[in-house]
Structure 1
Amino acid sequence: MNRPMELNIWGGDWGLPSVDLHCLEVMAFAKFSGAPLQTYVTNNPFWTPKGKLPVFKHGKQVLSSFPEISAYLKKKNFNADFGLTPKQCAEVVAYTQLLKGQLYLALQYVWWVDTKNYIELIRPWYAKALPFPCNYYYPGSYEREAKKHLEALYDQDDDPQAIETFVYREAERCINTLSVRLGDEDFFFGSHPTSLDATVYAYLAPLLKAPFPSPALQNHLKSTSNLVKFVVRITQRYFPYSIQEYEAKKSAAGGARGKTTDSESDFPNRRGCQILAGLFATAAMTSYALYTGLLQVSIKDEMDENIEDHEDLIHAAEDTEE
């Protein structure tokens, strides 16, 4: 009996099957290649092997990155790039590097660094999606990780506005290049989507569909009509249920769309709950690590790590008050 291929993901919203770039990339590639992938919305990276989503499972195989998952699917004869010439395969690699180099940082900036977007949209979304007490920890953790990435690339004395301008300018150049390359075609290599289409879709779809209160980069994407049609085309053809579920949700809410609740009331902010969440998460993480044998250190090292984890969680709780 063949075991099913499973994928644990972040859930969807705004008419998308997932709000997460990495989950979308795997989901799109699986659809394009015909892989019989069963997806499960978990919204909880805590119990995953590497502390992140997506997680692909097939028998004893457990994978979490797109290169690993796509390579495995290709070995199982589910290959969205079947039929591409060596030159076209090289082009896939080149454009993928372009996306990672020029657009990924901007998406992290839009998602986690832009204060207005983070406070009014992103943090409340993850606070609702994540289970307690993880909803106290992960949004602030992702925010700090994105800021550290940015600080590693730019001098701390640089003007923040100048950094934002440069990051967005590079992203706009990337979007323009993609628009020119796509032209009037349905997909980047003709009538059938490939891994490049999966990657481009994953990068652009959340940027296009999320209701950002600070939409500068989103507005630039919307000005490239062929890329907008590209995202809509893939969603309608391969993930129609996501659109249907979103429309049904809006109808059930009485057509009240674009209603953003106050972030402070949306996101839990009682001090007692913050401390409880920090203690609970610290104990849970430590117990899980000890149980699975992940901690192979001395008792002193374990205590030091627990203190550091607890401080991270308290910082995350304090972020919610700010």
Structure 2
Amino acid sequence: MSLVAEAFVTQIAAAEPWPQNAALYQPLKDEQVLLSDNAACLAVQAFLQMCNLPVQVVCRANAEYMSPSGKVPFIHVGNQVVSELGPIVQFVKAKGHSLSDGLDEVQKAEMKAYMELVNNMLLTAELYLQWCDDATVQEITHPRYGSPYPWPLNRILAYQKQWEVRRKMKAIGWGSKSLDQVLEDVDQCCQALSQRLGTQQYFFNKKPTELDALVFGHLFTILTTQLISDELSEKVKGYSNLIAFCRRIEQHYFEGRDKDSLATVPSPTLRRSLMT
């Protein structure tokens, strides 16, 4: 297909209304999904909830391999398949739904800078913990990542993913970091987010943007995921306004909704025990 024809098809797809059968694909909820993937899935889901766009969560063991970018989540809307928060935000904007249209250019630039901070610090820290901390790798990551597959495929896929992530960590200068250094980076990121949020409901004005969805996805998942230690979640718990921010978004956009259509959101009892 030529670029002109492809652009025309994209314009036609953008003009179509959001369908009721839109689907968000993610790994299996209970036994497979890892911290970083669950955070990404929850961020996209929060964004769509904030846009008031219905989506049904579909769990697939091979969601990562179904995704056009090799990353989860991805959405299937009409005949379009789009993966990851950034492209999904742009796709949704093309359909006439935007959370950041009310921001001026300076605010938009600031929002993008904070989103880069979250991806560079929180997401990278999650990946480091999953694939570079030996205790977490052996007790949590390998068993969960390979759980849908028979032996020896489960081991092969887990080690292949571990090699890919560790190679990336070395490339960006995280390969030689200690866990304490990574946790300090997380604390600095949370401090910057806490200062920007202050006493506001959301990071910009009184309405949420894609930054709010991204921060919620990562912080809520860190707070409510049981790992072999509480060191990561304790860094977030040091900032009371971030805790209140997560609770506020959960209550406004997730409570009372169809539990089968939601990403991995722990039970209220578990949430209370982990977020206090």
Asked if Structure 1 and Structure 2 have the same fold, meaning a TM-score greater than 0.5 normalized by the shorter chain, the answer is yes
Partner in structure 2 of residue 20 of structure 1: 38
In 2, are the aligned partners of 1:201 and 1:231 still within 8 Å (CA)? yes
In 2, are the aligned partners of 1:7 and 1:56 still within 8 Å (CA)? yes
Partner in structure 2 of residue 41 of structure 1: 59
In 2, are the aligned partners of 1:22 and 1:54 still within 8 Å (CA)? yes
1: CA distance, partners of 2:105 / 2:245: 25
In 2, are the aligned partners of 1:10 and 1:23 still within 8 Å (CA)? no
- Aligned positions, number: 245
Partner in structure 1 of residue 12 of structure 2: none
In 1, are the aligned partners of 2:39 and 2:221 still within 8 Å (CA)? yes
Matched, 1:185 2:205: no
Runs of 4+ in 1 over 6 A off after TM superposition: none
Partner in structure 1 of residue 158 of structure 2: 139
Partner in structure 1 of residue 230 of structure 2: 215
| Structure 1 residue 59: Cα displacement | 2.2
Partner in structure 1 of residue 10 of structure 2: none
| Structure 1 residue 231: Cα displacement | 1.9
1:17-42 Cα shifts (integer Å, max 9, x gaps): x9523222211111111122222111
| Structure 1 residue 143: Cα displacement | 2.2
Q: Which amino acid aligns with 2:159?
A: G
TM-score (norm 2): 0.76
1:281-316 Cα shifts (integer Å, max 9, x gaps): xxxxxxxxxxxxxxxxxxxxxxxxxxxxxxxxxxxx
Structure 2 counterparts to residues 227-238 of structure 1, below 5 A:
227-238=242-253
> Which stretch shows the higher mean deviation, 163-172 or 21-30?
163-172
Change (3 A) 1:245 1:152: closer
In 2, are the aligned partners of 1:34 and 1:78 still within 8 Å (CA)? no
Change (3 A) 1:137 1:32: farther
Matched, 1:79 2:94: no
Matched, 1:56 2:66: no
Partner in structure 2 of residue 247 of structure 1: 267
1: CA distance, partners of 2:120 / 2:55: 29
Higher radius of gyration, 1 or 2: 1
Partner in structure 2 of residue 8 of structure 1: 25
1: CA distance, partners of 2:135 / 2:92: 39
| Structure 1 residue 177: Cα displacement | 0.7
TM-score (norm 1): 0.66
Q: Which residue, out of 110, 122, 125, partners 1:91?
A: 110
2: CA distance, partners of 1:137 / 1:32: 39
Please tell me the root mean square deviation across aligned C-alpha atoms, in Å: 3.2
1:47-101 Cα shifts (integer Å, max 9, x gaps): 4434332222222211112221110111112212232222221111111122223
Q: Percent identity?
A: 28
Change (3 A) 1:101 1:49: closer
1: CA distance, partners of 2:218 / 2:181: 19
1: CA distance, partners of 2:269 / 2:114: 36
2: CA distance, partners of 1:244 / 1:166: 29
2: CA distance, partners of 1:65 / 1:243: 15
Partner in structure 1 of residue 50 of structure 2: 32
1: CA distance, partners of 2:159 / 2:204: 40
Change (3 A) 1:243 1:150: closer
